[in-house]
Amino acid sequence: MIFKPEHHTRGFTLIEIVITLTITAILSTMIFTYFGKTFTESVTPILRLKQSAYIQKIMQNIMAAFNYNGNPKWSANTTYSVNDIVIPISRNGHSYKCKTAGTSGASEPVWKTGIGNDTPEASPLIWTDNGPPLAVTVLKTRVNTPGYYKTLSDPDYVVLNNKCIRFDLTTNEELASEDVSCIYKTLKVTLQSDSGETLMALFVSE
């Protein structure tokens, strides 16, 4: 009788399995520690750029409201969003703010004057008289109004400064005391994004 030798396949011992799992855990921790911060922070500059661009857009809206010539002229067959500001093609000394979003018609509407008066256009687009160029006191009030220069879908921002200031005529430096009555007609506005980016502008009335 011939006996064939049996071949046994050797498995892993419990100790070998434990050692393997331990080494794997250590390597995983090392990899995460080394690369994890890089992966997490790699998107930070992009987010900062987006938020920086956003507060620039908000500041541009504020500047456009303050400076009559900074607003674009009304255009036919154009889609407008809430809070967009335009001036008539034939200037009448007023700017108009989009109250209800929509697309403009083929011809310019007959603009109604009087702050707060509405000018209906191609349905559902409605404009409201935004008034003439702003005094800094009016601009100051609007900057403090939540949502005035942004839509609800836009990210939030913080108004760090919104105050009338005055300068030392000798040193040209800003004085610590606020010009509460805006006698010198100089408004300082500083915006801050969620990421800490700040943007400052000065508005001076004649």
Is 71-132 a domain of CATH 2.30.30? Answer: no
Report pTM. 0.52
Q: Quick one: pLDDT at residue 55? A: 84
- Going by C-alpha positions, the residue among 127, 132, 71 that lies closest to residue 98 is 127
Q: Side by side, which strands form the sheet with 126-131?
A: 85-86, 95-100, 126-131, 118-120
Residue scoring higher pLDDT (126 or 141): 126
pLDDT tens digit sequence for 131-189: 776 778 888 888 888 777 776 667 778 888 899 999 888 888 889 888 888 888 889 99
Residue type, 156: D
Neighbours of 42 (CB within 10 A): 9
How many whole angstroms from its chain centre is CA 169? 35
pLDDT at 127 over 90: yes
C-alpha distance from residue 81 to each of 58, 71, 96, 135 (Å): 14, 14, 12, 25
Name the band, by pLDDT with cuts 50, 70 and 90, for residue 90: confident
**Phi-psi category of residue 123: left, alpha or beta, with phi > 0 → left and psi -120 to 50 → alpha:** beta
| Domain residue extents for the chain | 45-67+134-206, 71-132
